[in-house]
Chain A
C-alpha cells in the first residue's frame, strides 16, 4: 500500500479550471470523504453555481468560495494505481506569483491547465516559464473545458500546435497533452466516450505513465550544509544536512568558507556506516574546525566552491525592482550572504518566452531574467546542474522571500 510519492502542482491562467481539475482528480480517485461532500453541497446552495462543485473541495476559505477564486496554495493527497500524489493547487491570478512559486517549488511535476475555449493566456506562458526556472523538469498539459468547445478535435489540435512551439522554446520538449473536461469528468480518470478521436490515455494514466519520482542523488561528491553546533557535555556536535554524497567516520573533510579541515571522529546516534543524501546528522570532529552555520562540508578531492561571481536565472515575486548595482541578500542552503548585482543580462519576454535582445534596465514582479551576482561575503554556492540543492537560492528582503534563482555558472576565485 505504500506507493512512491509525487508532488504534482497545477499551474495555468486564472479560471482555466485548475481547482476544478484538482477537485475532479480527488473525487474520481475516491479521496473525498462523505462529510466533505455534504459540506460542499450546502456551500453550493449559497454560491448558487453548481460548476464550483469540484473547486470547493480545495478552495476552503470563505473568501475563495464567495469569489470563485483561489487565494492560497492548497495541498491534498490522492492515490492512483501507481503513486501517492499530493495535489498542489495554486492561485492563477497574476498578483499571486509568490504563492504559485511556493507551490511549484514543492513539486516533482506540473500539470499546465489550458482552457480549450480561451486558449493560451498570459499566465499560461508565465507559469510555464516559472515552473521551468524553479527546476520542474516534468510537465504534462491538460487542455480543459473541452465541453465548452463541443469536444471538437480541431480546437484541441490548434492549441496543441501553438503550445508545443512555446513550451519547446523554454525546454519542455514535446510534453504529453491530454484533452479533458474537469467539470464533466471526461478523460480525467476515466476515458471519454465523447472524445473517441483521442487515442491516448486519460490524464491520470498519462501521469502514471510519464512521471517519475525524484530520486535521491547518487554517485555525487559530498556536500553537507552545517545547520548549527551544539555543546553536549564536553563534546561539540556539528549538526548538518547531507545534500549529496556520503560521509563516514574517519573522513578528512573541509569546512568552507573559510576552509579549515579535520577528521570526522563519530556520527552521533547513527546506525548505518555512512550517512547519505537527505540525512540530518550530528558529527564530532577530532579538533576544533571553527564549524558554524552556513558552512559546507566536502572532501578534499572535490571541494565545495566559493565563487567570485555567478550567473543565475531568477524569478521575481516582490514589488521591489532589481537593478544593476543593488546590494541584495541571498540565502543558499543554510548560508546567507550579501551580493552585488553586477549585471542584468536578459529578461524573458512574457509573450513569446524568448530572451530580450538588449539587457533590461530592471527586473520586476513576475519577471524571469538572467543576471550576474558577485558575493560580497564568501559563500559556498554551486551550479544547479551539478548540485541542485546548492545551486538554488532565494533573495530576501525586509518582508521575506523576494525572489528565487537557479545558478547556471559559477566563476571561482583563483586563490582560495
Chain B
C-alpha cells in the first residue's frame, strides 16, 4: 500500500493541477461565472478545487437547483457547508412548475426538464451568467464522455452535440454567440479519483453515500428517482475498495439514465447537466 499510495498521490496531484488551471482560465475569460452544486461528491470536490484555485474564497455564486424533492440529508449538508465555506449560495426553483404539480409519476422526462433544466435556464437568464461550472465526468455516462471542457449552449439553452467546437490541447476558447458556456473542470476524473481525493483532502461527505442496512447511494438525485445500491461500505476506505472491484455502473440507481434509451442524450440536448 505504501508504494501504491505514493503513486496515487501523484495521479491526484496531476488531476488537481489541471482542474485548477481550467478554473483559473474560466475566471479570466468569462465575465460572470457561477458554479453548480448538487451537494454530491463531485460538485463538492469542484467547490473545494475552486477554494484552492482562488485562495480560500469562491469568488462567484454557487447555485443549487432545488426540485423540492431532494433528500433531507441534502438540504442539511447544503446549508451546513455553505455556512462553513462562506460562499454566496443561490437556490434555484421552478415554483411555477411545482405549483402545476409536475412530478416523475406523470412524466419523468418532463419532470427533469421542468424542475432542473428550466429552473436553471430561468436563473441564468435573470442573473446573466455567461459560464456555469459543472462537475460532470466522462466516465459517469456515455453521453457525458462526448463533452468538451468548454461546452457552449445556444440561445435556446440547447447543446448542439452534432457540431461541437474544436478543443485543441489545453487552449480553451471562450465561444461566441451562445447563451452561456458550460465549464467542466473535472471532466477527466473518474469516480475512483474523486473518492481518493475526498479521502486525501478530508472533504465533508453527505451521509447518504455510506451503507445503511446493506445499501448506499452511489449517486445523489431526487428521492422518487434515486435508489440505493447494495453495499456494505460504511467508510471512504471501504468505498474505494468496493469501486476497485465493482462491475456496476455509478449511476445504476439513477432513473433518468436508463428509463428509455437516449433519455440522457435528449435531456442533455435541451440543457440538462
Q: Chain A: residues with CB nearer than 8 A to chain B? A: 1-2, 5, 33-36, 39, 42-43, 58, 60-63, 71-77, 98-99, 101-102, 105-106, 134, 227-228, 230, 232, 237, 239, 241, 268-269, 278-280, 282, 293, 317, 331-332, 334, 389, 392-394, 396, 398-402, 404
Give 17 A-B pairs besides A269-B55, A404-B169 with Cβ atoms closer than 8 angstroms. Answer: A33-B249, A39-B258, A60-B145, A72-B164, A75-B138, A76-B138, A101-B166, A102-B167, A105-B168, A227-B21, A230-B55, A280-B53, A331-B171, A392-B169, A396-B173, A400-B165, A404-B166
Cα–Cα, bound, A34→B27 (Å): 40
**Which residues of chain B (248-262) have a CB below 8 Å from chain A?**
248-249, 252, 258, 261-262
Given contacts A1-B244, A76-B145, A227-B21, contact A63 B166 (CB under 8 A): no
Interface-located stretch among B4-12, B119-127, B128-136, B203-211: B4-12
Asked if A73 contacts B168 (CB within 8 A), the reply is no
Asked if B17 contacts A279 (CB within 8 A), the reply is yes
Cα–Cα, bound, A36→B142 (Å): 10
Given contacts A102-B167, A400-B173, contact A227 B265 (CB under 8 A): no
Asked if B17 contacts A280 (CB within 8 A), the reply is yes
In the assembled complex, which residues on chain B have CB atoms less than 8 Å from the CB atom of A332?
Answer: 171
Per-residue A-contact encoding for B131-165, CB less than 8 Å = 1, 0 else: 00000001100110110100000000000011011
In the assembled complex, which residues on chain A have CB atoms less than 8 Å from the CB atom of B25?
Answer: 227, 334
Question: Can you list 28 A-B pairs with a CB-CB distance of less than 8 A?
Answer: A33-B247, A33-B249, A60-B142, A60-B143, A61-B143, A61-B262, A61-B265, A72-B161, A73-B146, A74-B146, A75-B138, A102-B168, A105-B168, A105-B169, A134-B168, A227-B21, A227-B28, A232-B55, A269-B55, A278-B14, A278-B17, A279-B17, A317-B166, A392-B169, A393-B171, A394-B168, A399-B176, A404-B166
Q: Does B235 contact A (CB under 8 A)?
A: no
Asked if A280 contacts B20 (CB within 8 A), the reply is yes
In the assembled complex, which residues on chain A have CB atoms less than 8 Å from the CB atom of B53?
Answer: 280
In the assembled complex, which residues on chain B have CB atoms less than 8 Å from the CB atom of A317?
Answer: 166
Q: Chain B: residues with CB nearer than 8 A to chain A? A: 4, 7-8, 11, 14, 17, 20-21, 24-25, 27-28, 52-55, 138-139, 142-143, 145-146, 148, 161-162, 164-169, 171, 173, 175-177, 190, 244, 247-249, 252, 258, 261-262, 265
Cα–Cα, bound, A2→B25 (Å): 29
Asked if B17 contacts A99 (CB within 8 A), the reply is no
Given contacts A279-B17, A280-B21, contact A35 B252 (CB under 8 A): yes
Asked if A61 contacts B28 (CB within 8 A), the reply is no
Cα–Cα, bound, A282→B247 (Å): 41
Cα–Cα, bound, A394→B171 (Å): 8
In the assembled complex, which residues on chain B have CB atoms less than 8 Å from the CB atom of A74?
Answer: 142, 145-146
Asked if A230 contacts B54 (CB within 8 A), the reply is yes
Asked if A394 contacts B173 (CB within 8 A), the reply is yes
Task: Determine the residue in chain A with the shortest Cβ distance to B190.
Answer: A77
Asked if B171 contacts A62 (CB within 8 A), the reply is no
Cα–Cα, bound, A396→B49 (Å): 29
Max chain A CB contacts within 10 Å: which of B55, B162, B176, B262?
B55
Task: Determine the residue in chain A with the shortest Cβ distance to B196.
Answer: A2
Asked if B146 contacts A60 (CB within 8 A), the reply is yes
Given contacts A72-B161, A102-B168, contact A282 B262 (CB under 8 A): no
Asked if A60 contacts B20 (CB within 8 A), the reply is no
Which residue of B173, B175, B261 is within 8 Å of A62 (Cβ)? B261
Task: Determine the residue in chain B with the shortest Cβ distance to A392.
Answer: B169
In the assembled complex, which residues on chain B have CB atoms less than 8 Å from the CB atom of A402?
Answer: 166
Asked if B28 contacts A228 (CB within 8 A), the reply is yes
* 3 nearest A-B residue pairs (beta carbon): A60-B142, A98-B166, A400-B165
Which residue of A5, A232, A401 is within 8 Å of B167 (Cβ)? A401
Given contacts A1-B244, A232-B55, contact A227 B24 (CB under 8 A): yes
Cα–Cα, bound, A181→B9 (Å): 39
Given contacts A74-B142, A400-B173, A401-B168, contact A228 B55 (CB under 8 A): no
Given contacts A61-B146, A63-B162, contact A35 B249 (CB under 8 A): yes
Asked if B247 contacts A34 (CB within 8 A), the reply is yes
Cα–Cα, bound, A222→B268 (Å): 42
In the assembled complex, which residues on chain B have CB atoms less than 8 Å from the CB atom of A404?
Answer: 166, 168-169
Which residue of B55, B167, B258 is within 8 Å of A237 (Cβ)? B55
In the assembled complex, which residues on chain A have CB atoms less than 8 Å from the CB atom of B14?
Answer: 278
Task: Determine the residue in chain A with the shortest Cβ distance to B247.
Answer: A33
Task: Determine the residue in chain B with the shortest Cβ distance to A30.
Answer: B247
Q: How far is the CB of A126 from chain B (nearest CB, A)?
A: 16
Cα–Cα, bound, A5→B193 (Å): 13
Task: Determine the residue in chain B with the shortest Cβ distance to A400.
Answer: B165
Asked if A239 contacts B162 (CB within 8 A), the reply is no
Task: Determine the residue in chain A with the shortest Cβ distance to B142.
Answer: A60
Q: How far is the CB of B266 from chain A (nearest CB, A)?
A: 8
Which residue of B27, B166, B258, B262 is within 8 Å of A228 (Cβ)? B27
Task: Determine the residue in chain A with the shortest Cβ distance to B19.
Answer: A280
Asked if B8 contacts A2 (CB within 8 A), the reply is yes
Q: How far is the CB of B240 from chain A (nearest CB, A)?
A: 10
Task: Determine the residue in chain A with the shortest Cβ distance to B23.
Answer: A280
In the assembled complex, which residues on chain A have CB atoms less than 8 Å from the CB atom of B261?
Answer: 39, 42-43, 62
Q: How far is the CB of B52 from chain A (nearest CB, A)?
A: 8
Asked if A33 contacts B248 (CB within 8 A), the reply is yes
Cα–Cα, bound, A269→B53 (Å): 11
Cα–Cα, bound, A278→B7 (Å): 16
Which residue of A2, A393, A398 is within 8 Å of B11 (Cβ)? A2
Given contacts A39-B261, A331-B171, contact A75 B145 (CB under 8 A): yes
Asked if B262 contacts A62 (CB within 8 A), the reply is yes
Asked if B139 contacts A77 (CB within 8 A), the reply is yes
Max chain A CB contacts within 10 Å: which of B27, B138, B173, B252?
B173
Cα–Cα, bound, A169→B145 (Å): 35
Cα–Cα, bound, A93→B236 (Å): 45
Cα–Cα, bound, A349→B55 (Å): 51
In the assembled complex, which residues on chain A have CB atoms less than 8 Å from the CB atom of B54?
Answer: 230
Cα–Cα, bound, A253→B115 (Å): 52
Cα–Cα, bound, A237→B55 (Å): 10
